[in-house]
Amino acid sequence: MSHPAPGLPFPDALRPDASPVPHPLLAPVIGYLGTWRGTGRGGYPTLEADFTYAQEVTFSHDGRPFLAYEARAWLLDADGNPLRPSARETGWWRLRADGRMEALITQPTGIAEILSGHVLDGAVELATEQVSLAPTAKPVEATRRRYTLTDSDTLGFVHDLAAVGRPLQHHLSAQLRREAPGRPVQWPERDRGGD
């Protein structure tokens, strides 16, 4: 297997003003570029209790008409400290000229989703077209995801889930803040009761 020559650029841009120039079809989602971090709450009828989690989402592009998407999450204890890694997924958002979009998202738990939806006024709505499962994956029938830019530095996320025989219903929600490029990782401060 050959390896790229040292110094050859293989850029993935996290900002609209970086090289390569974003494809014109990315205009409706250009505000999503970058890394977003924050916390959220989740639950589902099959779980013993609701939970709090930290989430990091990154959107980048390489000049073609799609966004690369990566999301990671960690379960948090009552004091806001990480307990363990949780969900992880990666994929692509494919934009069309009419504002419609398609997304392909895979998870290491053996779930692959194809979603479709639209982007309008800074909000992306995606719903399942098809779910493929590895033989040992948990049964997931459908999902619905909403990403909303409430301002240039705040991204809201809501994830609905139909799994293990349950109907589509709320599963996750989070508020994420844009991380400035080159700034060290900082999770949102939580009220720790004066400690």
The predicted model gives 6-31 an average pLDDT of 83
Residue 25 has pLDDT above 60, yes or no: yes
pLDDT digits (tens, 9 = 90+) for 158-179: 999 999 999 999 999 999 999 9
CB 191 within 8 A of CB 181: no
Per-residue confidence (pLDDT) for residue 16, from 0 to 100: 85
| Residues above pLDDT 70, as percent of the chain | 87
Percent of the chain, pLDDT > 90? 79
| CA atoms of 116 and 126, how far apart (whole Å) | 5
DSSP 48: S
Neighbours of 169 (CB within 10 A): 13
pLDDT of residue 101: 96
- What's residue 59's pLDDT? 96
Q: How confident is the model at residue 13 (pLDDT cuts 50, 70, 90)?
A: confident
Three-class DSSP category at 123: strand
Residue 103 burial (C-beta neighbours within 10 Å; 0-12, 13-18, 19+): buried
What pLDDT is attached to residue 63? Answer: 92
Which H/E stretch holds residue 140? strand 140-151
Give the mean model confidence (pLDDT) for residues 123-150: 97
Residue 15, pLDDT score: 85
